[in-house]
Amino acid sequence: MRILIPLALLAAPAFAQCPPSPDIAAEEDALFAEIAEAGSPMTAREMSDDLWRLWTQAPDEAAQEMLDEAMRRARVSDLLGARESLTDLIAYCPDYAEGWNQRAFVAFRVQDYEAALADLDRAEKLNPRHLGVLTGKALTLINMGREAEAVPVLRAALALNPYLSERALLDGILGQDI
């Protein structure tokens, strides 16, 4: 019986549930308003960095550890390990957009565009104003040869932040007027 109690305590985190992702809409609104008034790409970049800090704040400490571990693994090109960590994060926090976005980025890096697109679609449903999701989706569609579908996605990202470097894709690869 003494063995069962420690084993039950070890298993407890597996049964824990992720808390809801915090509502960051007001903070996003304020940052997007600042970006609209930025006047320069460098100034807009500072606000974009603040957005990324919001998006990468996981709902709890366990989720944050999984996200941080996955991002560390991705930085050193342990993409299989990163994908495993992100899959664990998604299983634990299925409503956390950044888990899906980061797993899509890993899939993109290994040129698994179908998997990337599926994860990006899920992330976009969870946070339709996530610039990384929108630009990632546009780049994924371009790499899949689906340029016409990439244009409105890229335009949606540029409506939120006209200073994105991906803006050049409209004129360059996609042959669209900015």
What is the per-residue pLDDT across 98-155, written as a single tens digit (0 to 9) for each?
999 999 999 999 999 999 999 999 999 999 999 999 999 999 999 999 999 999 999 9
Per-residue pLDDT at 169: 87
Per-residue pLDDT at 12: 37
pLDDT band at 164 (very low <50, low <70, confident <90, very high): very high
* Residues 123/97, Cβ–Cβ less than 8 Å: yes
Domain assignments of the chain as residue spans, ordered by start: 44-171
Residue 133: CB atoms within 10 A of its CB come to: 28
In the CATH hierarchy, which fold is given to the domain comprising 44-171? 1.25.40
pLDDT band at 7 (very low <50, low <70, confident <90, very high): very low
Separation of alpha carbons 108 and 96, rounded Å: 19
What does each C-alpha distance from 6 to 2, 3, 34 come to in angstroms? 7, 6, 51
Terminal-to-terminal C-alpha distance of the chain: 69
pLDDT for residue 170 is more than 90: no
Separation of alpha carbons 113 and 55, rounded Å: 22
